[in-house]
Amino acid sequence: MVLDTSSPIAREATLPKCPTGIQGFDEISGGGLPKGRPTLVCGGPGCGKTLFGMEFLVRGATEYDEPGIFVTFEEKAHELAENVLSLGWDLKELEARGKLIIEHILVERSEIEETGEYDLEGLFIRLGAAVDAIGAKRIVLDTVESLFAALPNELILRSELRRLFRWCKQKGLTAVITGERGDMTLTRHGLEEYVSDCVVDLNVRVKSDIATRRLRIVKYRGSEHGTNEYPFLIGAGGFSVMPITSINLDYATSSERVLTGVNRLDTMLGGQGYYKGSSVLISGTAGTGKSSLAAAFARATCAGGGRCLYFAFEEPVSQIIRNMGSIGMDLGKLMDAGLLKFHASRPTTYGMEMHLLTMYNMVKEFEPDAVIIDPISNLSAVGGEEEVKSILTRFVDFLKGQNITTLFTDLTFGRTVGEYTESAISSLMDTWILLRNIETNGERNRALFVLKSRGMEHSNQVREFILSSDGLELTDAYLGSEGVLMGSARVGQEARDFEESRLRGQELSGKKRSLEAKRAALESQMAALKQDFLSMQEEIEAVETAAKAQNAALFKDRDMMAKIRKAD
C-alpha cells in the first residue's frame, strides 16, 4: 500500500530512520530501518531475505541516493543480477553508475585449514575498499552465517563478527544482515546476540496448499513499531508489505448516489440507489440471482458513463457475457466501449495476498467508479475466515478511500440460510441485500430483502425478484388473507382476487341500480304528494274566499233589512 505518513507509528521520530523504500515496510517500522545500525533479517529458506536486502539497496540507490554494497557469501554476482532482473532491477547498470557494488565472498570449507590464531582483516579491507569506492551508506551481508561453515573456530569467528557489526556502525552504514532460521532460535548461529537494534522475521506458512509470506518486526530498539505479523508478497515490483493497520477511518464520505440497475431496488433504497463509494453486499444461496444483480449494477454504472471493474472468481468472462445476454444485458458492448473490464481468475491460483495485490494494481490502473467481486465466498477456499476478512477489510478500505463503490456477492449455503455471511464481513458493508429462494407449492421463487443500508431510508418489505429475458424486475410479493405469496401462487391468488372483486363489483352495481329505482319511485311519489298538497292549498284558499264573500253578503243583507224595517 502507499506509504502513509499520517499513521500513528510514522509520526514517531525518536530515532533517525533509513527509509527502505519497500512498499509498506516503512509504514510499519515508522520510517524504515535504524539509520547507521545493523538490522537482522532472519527467516527460513526461500522466504525472501536476500530480496529484502537487495530491494533495500536498489531503492536506496535509485530513490534515496544512498549507494550500497551487497556482500554475498552464497550466490555469485551475475547470478544475483539475473535473479533480480525479472523485478526490473538492473544491477549491472547500477554498478556502472557507481551506486552499487556486489562483493562475492567465496568461502569453502574444504580449501581452508586452520593453523593457529587469525582474524578476518581480509574481509574488513575488502569491505572497507568497497565502501570507500562509492561512498556507501548501506550494506547487506547475505548471509554471514556461511562463514560458520567455512571457519571451524567459532570463538574467533564470533569475536570477528562482533567487530564487523561494530565496524559497520562506526562507518555509519545502515546494515542488513540476513540469517537462516534455527531450530529454537531466530538464527542458526545466534546472530541475534550481536545485532540487537532491530530484528525482522520473515516466514512462509502453507495452509491448505497455499503459501503466505509474513513479516514481523521482532524488536526495534528505541522506536515504536507495528508488532503484528504482516502478510507480504514478492510481486513483479519487489516486496510489498500490506499492513492491516493502514485502516484509517478518515476518508471523505460521499452523499452522491448511484443507481443499482433495477428500478424498484432504487426505490427500496430511498428512491436513489446506493451511496457512491459505499460497500454493498449481496448474499444468497445458489441460483438466487446474485451475479445478475451485480451485472445489472455494472451495466447501470457504465450506462451513466462510469467505469466498472469486474473480478470474477467463478465463471469465465465469456460465460458471464452469455448468461447476462440471456436476461437482456449486453455486457460485451460495454466491454468493447472500454467501460467494463473483467478479470477472471481462480481463487486458488495464488494466495490471498497476491489476489489483493492484483486487485489493487488493477484498480490503480483502470481507475474504475465501481468494483465488483463475484463472489467473495470463493476466496475462503484459499484463506481462512480471518484472512479473508483481513484482506477484504483492507481492500474495502482502499476502495472507499478512492470513493469507488464496491459490490460483493457472497454465496451462502442452504443450511445456514439467512443473515450470515460466509466470510463474516457483513459489518464492513454499508448496504446488505439478501436474496433467498422461497419454496412453496412445488416451486422456488426468488425473494429480495434489504437487510441494512446505512444512512438512508430503506424499505423493510420483501420483494419478489424476477429474472426474465427482459431483464431484472422486482414486484411486490402478494400480501393478503392468504399470507405472503410468490410466483405462480401469487399470480393465481391475484387472479382469484380479481375475479372476486369483479363479482363483488357486479353485486354492488345491481344493488345500486335497485336502490336507485326505489329512490326514483320515491321521488315520483314525492312529486305526486306535492301536487296534492298544492291543489289542496288552492282548495283551501277558494273555500276561504267563498266564506269571506258569504260574510260580506250577510252584512249587506242585514243592513238592507234594517233599512227596510226602518230600524233605528
Partner 1 sequence: MDKSKNRAADFEKALKARDQQKYVLRLYVAGMTPRSMQAISSIKSICEEHLLGRYEIEVIDIYQQPGLAKEQQVLAAPTLIKTLPLPLRKFIGTLSDRERILTSLDIVPKV
Work out the number of other CB atoms within 10 angstroms of the CB of residue 546: 10
Which of 177, 408, 140 lies closest to 291, judged by CA? 408
Contact call for residue 568 and partner 1 (CB under 8 A): no
Give which of 317, 398, 386 is closest to 357, Cα–Cα. 398
Least distance to partner 1 from the beta carbon of 73, Å?
A: 10
Q: Which residue lies nearer to partner 1 by CB, 73 or 220? A: 73
Q: Which of 123, 308, 352, 396 contacts partner 1 by CB under 8 A?
A: 123
Q: What is the dihedral of CA 90, 236, 228, 219, to 10 degrees?
A: -10
Residue from 96, 129, 495, 517 in contact with partner 1 (CB under 8 A): 129
- The sign one gets for the Cα dihedral 318, 324, 330, 335 is negative
Strand partners, 92: none
Confirm or reject binding of residue 559 to partner 1 (CB under 8 A).
Answer: no
29 contacts: CB under 8 Å, gap ≥ 6: 9, 17, 20, 198, 217, 220, 223, 225, 226
CB of 227 to partner 1, least distance (A): 38
183 interacts with partner 1 by CB under 8 A: no
What's the closest the beta carbon of residue 105 comes to partner 1, in angstroms? 7
Is 509 a residue that touches partner 1 (CB under 8 A)? no
For residues 42 and 179, what is the distance between their CA atoms, to the nearest angstrom?
5
Residue 500 amino acid letter: E
Would you say 151 or 244 has its CB closer to partner 1? 151
Question: Which C-beta is closer to partner 1: that of 47 or that of 144?
Answer: 144
- Give the C-alpha separation, 447 to 490, whole Å: 13
Residue 79 interacts with partner 1 (CB under 8 A): yes or no:
no
**231 secondary structure, DSSP code:** E
**Strand 274-275 with 257-258, pairing:** antiparallel
Using the rule CB under 8 A, which residue among 8, 118, 349, 541 binds partner 1? 118
Task: State which residue, 120 or 215, has the beta carbon closest to partner 1.
Answer: 120
Binding of partner 1 by 534 (CB under 8 A): no
User: Which residues are CB-contacts of 211 (< 8 A; sequence separation ≥ 6)?
Assistant: 204, 205, 351
111 counts as binding partner 1 under rule CB under 8 A: yes
134 binding partner 1? (CB under 8 A) = no
Q: Mark the segment that binds partner 1 (CB under 8 A) among 4-12, 112-120, 255-263, 329-337.
A: 112-120
Q: Does 114 bind partner 1 (CB under 8 A)?
A: yes
Distance of alpha carbon 344 from alpha carbon 520, whole angstroms: 78
* 116 forms part of the interface with partner 1 (CB under 8 A): yes
Rg of the chain taking only CA atoms, in angstroms: 44
Asked if residue 119 binds partner 1 (CB under 8 A), the reply is: yes
Question: Distance between CA atoms of 521 and 527, rounded to whole angstroms?
Answer: 10
Helices (H), 29-70: 49-63
Collapse the DSSP code of 36 into the 3-class scheme (helix H, G, I; strand E, B; otherwise coil) and give the result. Answer: coil
In the complex, minimum distance from the CB of residue 80 to partner 1, in angstroms, rounded to a whole number: 17
Question: Which of 95, 473 has the CB closer to partner 1?
Answer: 95
CA distances from 138 to 48, 68, 165, 179, 479 (A): 18, 4, 13, 17, 75
Is 209 among the residues that bind partner 1 (CB under 8 A)?
Answer: no
Tell whether residue 414 is a contact of partner 1 (CB under 8 A).
no
Which span sits near partner 1 by CB under 8 A: 117-125, 274-282, 300-308, 447-455? Answer: 117-125
Of 26 and 160, the one with the shorter C-beta distance to partner 1 is 160
Give the span between the Cα atoms of 502 and 500, in whole angstroms: 5
* Of the candidate residues 77, 107, 327, 335, the single one contacting partner 1 (CB under 8 A): 107
What's the Cα-to-Cα distance from 445 to each of 41, 236, 439, rounded to whole Å?
A: 58, 47, 6
Which residue, chain included where needed, has cell 494466495?
351
Nearest one of 245, 237, 213, 370 to 305, comparing CA atoms: 370
Residue 149 interacting with partner 1 (CB under 8 A): no
Is residue 386 within the footprint of partner 1 (CB under 8 A)? no
Minimum distance from residue 117 beta carbon to partner 1 (Å): 5
The Cα–Cα gap between 244 and 414 comes to 32
Stretch that binds partner 1, among 116-124, 391-399, 489-497, 551-559 (CB under 8 A): 116-124
Q: For partner 1, which stretch binds (CB under 8 A), given 55-63, 99-107, 443-451, 504-512?
A: 99-107
Nearer to partner 1 by Cβ, of 117 and 568: the residue is 117
Q: Which of 13, 85, 96, 112 binds partner 1 (CB under 8 A)?
A: 112
Give me the residue label for grid cell 496448499.
209
Q: How many residues belong to the chain?
A: 568
Stretch that binds partner 1, among 82-90, 122-130, 385-393, 559-567 (CB under 8 A): 122-130
Q: Does 526 bind partner 1 (CB under 8 A)?
A: no
Q: Is residue 113 a contact point for partner 1 (CB under 8 A)?
A: yes
Q: How many residues bind to partner 1 according to rule CB under 8 A?
A: 21
- For position 131 contacting partner 1 by CB under 8 A, the verdict is no
At 510 the three-state DSSP class reads: helix
**Interface with partner 1 includes 117 (CB under 8 A)?**
yes
Nearest CB to partner 1, comparing residues 117 and 250: 117
Select 122 or 455, whichever has its Cβ closest to partner 1.
122
Please, which residue, 147 or 407, has the CB nearer to partner 1? 147
Task: Provide the grid cell at 144.
Answer: 554471514
d(CA 358, CA 360) in angstroms, rounded, equals 5
Asked if 214 and 232 count as a contact pair (C-beta separation under 8 A), the reply is: yes
Stretch that binds partner 1, among 86-94, 115-123, 454-462, 489-497 (CB under 8 A): 115-123
- The residue with cell 581452508 is 112
Q: Which residues contact partner 1 by CB under 8 A? A: 105-107, 111-123, 125-126, 129, 147, 151
